[in-house]
Structure 1
Amino acid sequence: MSNELEFVLDRLGTDSMKWDMTEARFGARDVIPLWVADMDIKAPRPVIDVLKEKAEHGVFGYSAPSSKVDEAICDWLKKRYDWEVNSETFIYTSGIVPTISHMIQAFTEPGDEVIIQTPVYYPFYDVVEKNNRVILKNPLKRNDHHYEMDLAQLESLITDKTKILLLSHPHNPVGRVWRRYELEKLAKLCQKHDLLVISDEIHADLLFDGQTHIPIASINEDMAMRTLTCLAPSKTFNLAGIQASYAVVLDPKKRLKLKQFIQSTFSSINIFAQAATEAAYRHGEGWLEELMIYIQANYQFVEDYLGEHMPKIKPIKPEGTYLLWLDCEQLDMPAKERNQWFLHEAKVAFNHGPIFGEEGEHFERMNLACSRDTLAKALDRMKQAYDNKGL
């Protein structure tokens, strides 16, 4: 086990969505939850220490803007992505999904069209449709175990009502880290058709060996002005419950419009979110490096186990995130039957593929951010159910 990582093997009874809501959500008892994207790993020790310090102070009043947090973010973005921005471009928010919802409301009208690239993170559907906007689906192309953008099909969708491309970057759930040449081609289309880009880059830090994250807003000056980038320390450092996120908006006019819109419902992030963000970005890099070594080893463990014992379940090798897209087509089960089989026979809870769109019909999404022991136990359960079914 890593020197940096501290695993929590029992999260039951801690008001954990992942563990304590599994039965209510899935209708199955005693299952191993490998679904929602949080980790069974403690946040970096410096984050825990600074939160203890804030709690001991004992006064939890309104928080003022913090230049220390601003500087920590600027330094992180420069070091990790070679992306130089200044703190004036930041808008702090309480979560990326509500931020995207605010962006769609601020920059489109009811009936306007938003492009999403499916299969994709399922709240993307809600933030469009529940705001009375129209989804245009641009399915990714799958070439064996690799997904690509279908830019020709994307361009064919665009009408005079199409206003936004909502980008998952790195992509959830398929795990692609988009290359510069792909982003440059996409950028040309966005410029040609004057599309605003909302780029969800929450998984940007979670990269496998050899991968580089390139913020799409850093591609060129035009993309800098037409992109709203959503970022957070939450996925990287397991801080989702702290509710800390921020948008980088380089165009001053767009930034002012969005800030005015958001400030009607939200004034500032809380003091714990501020402290955690600064500590994570200042002192969490070693922890993150250890994490990705462990996640990649977990992936290899799953790939090897499936190949030896359950060859009809085929993992799509991720380039980033700690999520694994499992191709279950060869199990030859309808999606609903397969979902129930995993839950009630294998006693394992995944995110069911169809919730990411019809392109996920044959898939399940597995969370790799757990201890090897938890993962081995889940795979052993799956193998037993697999063997019992005679697959």
Structure 2
Amino acid sequence: MGFFETVYDRKNTRSVKWDMLDEVFNTSDVLPMWVADMDFKAPKEVTEALLERVKHEIFGYTVIDKDVKASIVNWLARRHHWEINPDWLSFSPGVVTTLHMAVQALTNPNDSILIQTPVYTPFYKVIEEHERKVVKSPLIRKGDTYAIDFEDFEEKLKQGVKAFILCNPHNPVGRVWKYEELKEIARLCLKYNVFIISDEIHGDLVFPDKKHIPIGSLSEEIANCTITCMAPSKTFNLAGLQASYAVTANPELRKKLDHHFTIQGIHGLNTLGNTALEAAYNFGEPWLNELQEVLVSHHNYVKEELEAKTDLQVIQSEGTYLLWIDCKSLNMDDKALHSFFIEQAKVGLNKGIDYGVEGSQFMRMNIACPKEILVEGVQRIIDAVTNS
């Protein structure tokens, strides 16, 4: 696993994670473990494909051809046992962009859209910025994990919800929803005629003993009311290349989605994003398998260290490279907690409160970095907590 142990200097590369510390934390004296990209190099096959394309030195309009689509179709079949038709694919610069388009395609102003909180912060914006109403069905905390409150979930659907934005694996709590849970979500959404917009960008990053199940793969009936948003960006650390896609089996829904892409002037992928996506899906699997083992090891290290040496509790994750840390034992409000991690621990994390009121007194930590950096960050937290 030496490839994932090398520390690379990302400063002065226009990196959001490393070069925007002053703007985000009002100081450059923090170790950045926040925004969701990795401090690992992409698979060498991706870099080689990009270099080969750059050598051509002409970067005109680029088509998403049958080979690019085949790389996605084969990846979903191989990794997730989901057989899709290449005609079901729509392309986008990013999953958040697709969420915006899907909300507009499936709902109207003043419609209600359900989310399960605490949840990825853009979910609120893609609803509210299009004059839709946020309806929350909070997840239930059970020890060091979370579960769906299906009684509340159904009660909210009864109130006239038009669409549900699913996060699977869930960001930030790290749940990989099980088959039985997804079947119940699907059953209830079908019962109340609710569209599903499924953010599955972390779907490849499940831990080796878990299985990601695309909700659209459950049945033809559920596929017909679902738009699934996916990308290689989180999987292979390609976010800056802006390449993602949506899978929509229902031709009428797909036509509506594509219409909103068109009227916003979005017509596919940029040349290098196109190249990277294909190379990653065709050749990146061994790299990903190794990464999954690294992330499990990192997760276990952080959980064991923080829980052994502090009263902080790390929620048991099942996937992603993001940890959800319960900091209630510090007895601080959210503003003080944020300041504590910046000024005392000197570690830059995401504020839990940004994921909804259910995230109050939590912090989100990115563990996708070499072990050397991870150990330094954890030790800073331990020292700060111990001396507080």
Pick the TM interval, shorter chain: over 0.9
Shift of 1:220: 1.4
- Structure 1 contact 329–363 (Cα < 8 Å) conserved: yes
In the TM superposition, 1:351-366 aligns within 5 A as 351-366=350-365
Shift of 1:123: 0.5
Shift of 1:140: 0.3
Aligned to 1:280: 280
Q: Per the alignment, do residues 6 and 61 of structure 1 end up closer, same or farther by CA in structure 2, a change over 3 Å counting?
A: farther
Q: Per the alignment, do residues 381 and 285 of structure 1 end up closer, same or farther by CA in structure 2, a change over 3 Å counting?
A: same
Aligned to 1:131: 130
Letter in 1 for 2:196: V
- Structure 1 contact 37–367 (Cα < 8 Å) conserved: yes
**Which residues of structure 1 form unaligned runs of 5+?**
none
Shift of 1:100: 0.5
Task: Provide the C-alpha distance between the structure 2 equivalents of 1:157 and 1:51, rounded to a whole number of angstroms.
Answer: 47
- 2:379 counterpart of 1:380: yes
Letter in 1 for 2:97: P
Once the two structures are overlaid, the 10-residue window that deviates more, 117-126 or 208-217, is 208-217
Aligned to 1:30: 29
Shift of 1:160: 5.9
Letter in 1 for 2:28: R
Aligned to 1:302: 302
What secondary structure is seen at the aligned counterpart in 1 of 2:40? coil
Shift of 1:116: 0.3
In the TM superposition, 1:319-334 aligns within 5 A as 319-334=318-333
- Structure 2 contact 5–372 (Cα < 8 Å) conserved: no
Shift of 1:188: 0.9
Shift of 1:201: 0.3
- 2:188 counterpart of 1:189: yes
Q: Residue by residue, what CA displacement relative to the aligned partner does 1:33-56 show, whole Å, maximum 9, x if unpaired?
A: 110000000000000011111111
Shift of 1:158: 2.8
What secondary structure is seen at the aligned counterpart in 2 of 1:269? coil
Percent of aligned pairs with the same amino acid = 43
**Which residues of structure 2 form unaligned runs of 5+?**
none
What secondary structure is seen at the aligned counterpart in 2 of 1:205? helix
TM-score between the two structures when normalised by the length of structure 1: 0.97
- 2:240 counterpart of 1:241: yes
Q: Residue by residue, what CA displacement relative to the aligned partner does 1:93-140 show, whole Å, maximum 9, x if unpaired?
A: 110001100111112111000000000000000000011100000000
Aligned to 1:56: 55
- 2:290 counterpart of 1:290: yes
TM-score between the two structures when normalised by the length of structure 2: 0.98
What secondary structure is seen at the aligned counterpart in 1 of 2:204? coil
Shift of 1:268: 1.6
Aligned to 1:145: 144
Q: Count matched residues.
A: 387
- Structure 1 contact 34–348 (Cα < 8 Å) conserved: yes
Runs of 4+ in 1 over 2 A off after TM superposition: 3-9, 158-161
Shift of 1:161: 4.1
Shift of 1:307: 2.5
Letter in 2 for 1:337: A
Shift of 1:65: 2.3
Letter in 2 for 1:122: T
Task: Provide the C-alpha distance between the structure 1 equivalents of 2:200 and 2:117, rounded to a whole number of angstroms.
Answer: 16
What secondary structure is seen at the aligned counterpart in 2 of 1:47? helix
Shift of 1:387: 2.1
- 2:226 counterpart of 1:227: yes
Shift of 1:209: 2.5
Letter in 1 for 2:298: N
Q: Residue by residue, what CA displacement relative to the aligned partner does 1:312-344 show, whole Å, maximum 9, x if unpaired?
A: 111011101011000111111111101101001
- Structure 1 contact 5–44 (Cα < 8 Å) conserved: no
Task: Provide the C-alpha distance between the structure 1 equivalents of 2:13 and 2:64, rounded to a whole number of angstroms.
Answer: 31
Task: Provide the C-alpha distance between the structure 1 equivalents of 2:308 and 2:117, rounded to a whole number of angstroms.
Answer: 30
Aligned to 1:177: 176
- Structure 2 contact 4–370 (Cα < 8 Å) conserved: no
Task: Provide the C-alpha distance between the structure 1 equivalents of 2:99 and 2:247, rounded to a whole number of angstroms.
Answer: 12
In the TM superposition, 1:51-200 aligns within 5 A as 51-159=50-158, 161-200=160-199
Shift of 1:304: 2.0
